Amino acid sequence: MFHIKRNGKAQNIYRGVILNLDNNPVKRKLAVGISIMCLAAVCTSLGQLFWKLSSGSENTLLLYIGGYALYGIGAILMIIAFKFGDLSVLHPMLSIGFILAIVWGRIILEEQVTLQKLAGITIIIAGMIFLGLGGKQK
């Protein structure tokens, strides 16, 4: 079998983050909220993709219904996620949907990914990290 050699610093940082979440119920709760909100973003972005695919498709009605179902599931997940943290931290996590739109556009719709789009993705990810780290520390 393969043995993966681990970097000591990276492993200590990983352990610190995990242990910090385990010992801090507020951060653990926030992490659950962020995870649910990211799942909501996946659902809503897929719903929007279905709507886009419905234009010019033979299965227009089916794609519309699928899109609405996914979007509705995403909305329900958002409502659930808001029980786990501050609106100011959780709601911006929906911006992962912008990243997913670029990914779906590239993979499924064969759209071009430009340097500007990559820069935008980088800024969105940085913002999500700062907001996620900036939740309540109590």
pLDDT per residue as tens digits for the range 68-126: 999 999 999 999 999 998 888 898 889 899 999 999 999 999 999 999 999 999 998 89
Task: Give the model's pLDDT for residue 14.
Answer: 47
Alpha helices in the chain (DSSP H): 8-23, 25-54, 60-81, 87-90, 96-107, 115-133
Q: Where are the domains of the chain?
A: 8-133
Helices 96-107 and 25-54 pack at an angle, to 10 degrees, of: 40
- Cβ–Cβ < 8 Å for 40, 94: yes
Q: Which residues contact 69 (CB under 8 A, 6 or more apart)?
A: 47
